[in-house]
A and B are shown apart, each in its own frame.
Chain A
Amino acid sequence: MNKVQLILLCIFLAGCVSEGDTRPAPYLKGEALLQQGLEAYQHDNFIQASEKFTAAFVLYQSFANTKGMLLAQLNLIETALAMDDFAQVTMGLARLDKQELEPALQHKLALLEVKLAYQQQNYPLALQKLQPLLIEISPQLPATDAALTLWAMQAQLQLLTQPQLSSTGLALFQQGLSQLVTPSPYYEALLKRLLAQVALNQQDYATAHTVLTQALAYYQAQANRRAIANCLEDLAAIAAAQHLKNQQKQYLLKSLAIWTWLNNEYKHQLLQNQLKNLP
């Protein structure tokens, strides 16, 4: 058997893998644009992600593909949220054709509304919008990623709105985590952040600082910029509660550098205002 026959054999074998994707090119192109947008989002390149999602939306619109248009729009809203561009988020939500949303996409939309309220620091509204989603999950069943995420959100919002009360969301989150044989480090870091908030509410600053530093170490290992910046802001809040102005300033400066890198003007302005009040 010569080389040419071998190459032909390889090509034939490759052809036997499975049937190729025979959908029309616009579908493939649309999915490719969405994938490129997701990739850019994962790399914190929100501007590029926004461009890709917009291009995907325009493409899907060109052949009236409602599902594709909705996917692109939801991703655009989430990207705008990542940049704290509330005007864009509000406009995106207003333009969304909510009648066409499937249950899964409705769930996603509800979560985006929760996030918007949270990021605008309207915690009671965020908690109110989260309630319908919490009804859908049962603590009796094995904990899923979606359930754990929702309980963590509930816990976070409860700890912010009712600092004196114990959080039912935190209890459910801990219970869900205990069911897992090997809990993901991601959820463990999330739990540490919640525990830090509990400790901060109880004015146990040492514990709050310790657990939050542990969570920060995980996020740094993952290079999760937005989580790192938020952790640093929480550490600054702990330092502020202890009147450690210099330490607070250092944390805020580090966080500011991250938000600047992320082109987040809202956070940038917010931290600049805080830093102005520090010596």
Chain B
Amino acid sequence: MKTSKVHYIHSLSYSAKDRLVGVFAMIAILAMLALFAVKIKSSKMFADVVHYHTYMKTAQGISTDTIVNISGIDVGRVSALDIDSNNKIHIEFFVYKDFQKLLRADSKGELNKLSLVGNAVIIIKAGSVKLPMLPDGAVIAVEEPVTTDDLIAGITPVIKNLESLVYDLTNIVSAVNPKAVSNSASDLADIVSNVRQLSDHVTEGKGTLGRILYDKSQEQSVNNSLLLIEKSLSGVATRINETQPVIENVNKLSIQSQQMLGDVRQSLQHLDKQLELVPELIKNTNTVLNHSRTVLESTDQTLKGAQKVWPLSNAISTPSSDLLIKERSLDE
């Protein structure tokens, strides 16, 4: 028959068992004490502190948990809040002794900007090392943040302006004709399309502009032409200087021409007699007029064609007489 192995605990005496339990309990208590000590050290519960005071009009966002921060380090906390004899908020806060050296005579505090929405932090600027340290119980000036009332007072005119702006905008929007906007958008789309075509042509080197931009020989040719124009302009300037004496002579001539006008009047009287022959001339002129009309019609067509070409097209306004349907025969 096989004998079973017994656990060692059953072979220990009662006193041995008590000692073993005692060891476990002691280890647990020691661990707990160690953790407690670490926590005390980290929370600086018993660290030496230095107290300071400040006075503010409002204590918005500040409580006894509010942290005091110097150069990004949490160096203390607000310890008490009360009201002084001048009805100002008296705030007492402490700073750990280790950080007292950061507080100098020129140190100033401010409440962080988020104090309005909670999480207020008193931020103190580290002072100059050349100046003396602030002693325990000293007063540090803390700049007060903008209050909600100040903000609202500042925003009110803006809101009023915004209100009038919205009113104006409403008027503008109501004045906008959707159909006109739609037409404009349609016209704009046409314009964009035309511009795209134009730019395509230019990119492909078509047209004058395209050749100017992409054709080297054309560029050279234009350069040469511009040089010639420059020379011509200088020549014109010289001619203008030369014409000054001529203009003076013209003035003299105009005086003489007044005398000649008298003679012209006499000639006109003779001309009246000659006018009797004009009807015959008119008959002959008819033929000339017919020729001219043909030429004018061609010119008119050419001009109309030219007017459709940019930039003339946007410079010449259409005469209103062309806005009626052209007269045709009865069957058309």
Contact = CB atoms under 8 A, between A and B. Distances in A.
B329 A152 contact: yes
Contacts of B316: 18, 21
Most chain-A Cβ atoms within 10 A of its Cβ — which of B317, B320, B331?
A: B331
Interface size band for A: 35 or more
Contacts of B21: none
28 contacts: A1-B226, A6-B212, A10-B209, A17-B315, A18-B312, A20-B314, A20-B315, A21-B316, A31-B317, A41-B325, A71-B320, A71-B324, A75-B323, A75-B325, A78-B325, A108-B324, A108-B327, A142-B290, A145-B327, A146-B327, A152-B329, A153-B329, A156-B331, A179-B290, A180-B290, A224-B332, A227-B332, A230-B332
A74 interface: yes
Given A71-B324, A179-B290, A14 B332 contact: no
A67 B320 contact: yes
B296 to A, nearest CB: 12
Contacts of B180: 29
A78 B321 CA distance: 16
A197 to B, nearest CB: 11
A226 interface: yes
B287 interface: yes
Interface in A225-273: 226-227, 230
B185 to A, nearest CB: 14
Interface string B261-297: 0000000000000000000000000110111001000
B290 A181 contact: yes
Interface string A34-71: 11001001000000000000000000000000010001
B213 A21 contact: no
Nearest to A49: B325
Contacts of A7: 209, 212-213
Given A34-B323, A142-B286, A179-B290, 17 more contacts: A21-B315, A31-B317, A41-B325, A75-B323, A142-B289, A142-B290, A146-B327, A152-B329, A153-B330, A156-B329, A157-B330, A181-B290, A182-B294, A224-B332, A226-B332, A227-B329, A227-B331
A199 B304 CA distance: 40
A177 to B, nearest CB: 11
B222 to A, nearest CB: 6
A3 interface: yes
A74 B320 CA distance: 13
B330 A156 contact: yes
Contact of B318 (A29, A35, A78): A35
B175 to A, nearest CB: 12
B311 interface: yes
A147 B112 CA distance: 93
Counting from the closest, the 9 A-B pairs by CB-CB distance are: A230-B331, A14-B311, A21-B317, A34-B323, A181-B290, A18-B315, A78-B325, A118-B330, A227-B332
A34 B320 CA distance: 10
Interface string A90-108: 0000000000000011001
A108 B328 CA distance: 11
A38 B325 contact: yes
A193 B226 CA distance: 59
A137 interface: no
B223 interface: yes
Contact of A111 (B320, B323, B327, B331): B327
Contacts of A182: 290, 294
Contacts of B163: none
Nearest to A6: B212
